[in-house]
Amino acid sequence: MALTPQSQLRLWLIQTLGDLGGSAERRLALRAMAKAFQDQFTDDDWRSPPKRPFESNWENRTSFERGEMVREGLLLPMQKAGRGRWALTERGWTLHRQVSR
């Protein structure tokens, strides 16, 4: 079974953060994402990557995607959002409004 595409993880993260008011600590964002989309993750998503046995593939890949989203201006860098916080930028909110329709 395949892993959920990065593009889908991105949309789920945008939706989750928006639903949480625009920002959340990493662990809370991932917990909310798991609850909202648990039935849509694949079996491979729930497995752990070999070098990070304490988290699932989808959590690891979502964290990686978060870095890409910061570079693209969808999420604030930690220096502005706060250590351990993930927060939408204005561009992120625009995408949230689009995917929430």
Return the H-helix or E-strand segment holding 87: strand 85-87
- For 23, the 3-state DSSP assignment is strand
Whether 30 is in a domain gets the answer yes
Q: pLDDT at position 79, please?
A: 81
4: pLDDT strictly greater than 80: yes
Cβ count near 12 (within 10 Å) = 22
Q: Which residue has the tokens 């969808």?
A: 74
Q: pLDDT at position 30, please?
A: 98
Backbone angles phi, psi at 85, to 5 degrees: -100, 145
Q: Return the CATH number at 82.
A: 1.10.10
Whether 88 is in a domain gets the answer yes
Which two tokens mark 78? 């930690």
Question: How many domains does the structure of the chain reveal?
Answer: 1
- 43-83 per-position pLDDT tens digit: 999 999 989 999 999 999 999 999 999 999 999 998 888 88
- 21-53 per-position pLDDT tens digit: 999 999 999 999 999 999 999 999 999 998 999
Whether 1 is in a domain gets the answer no
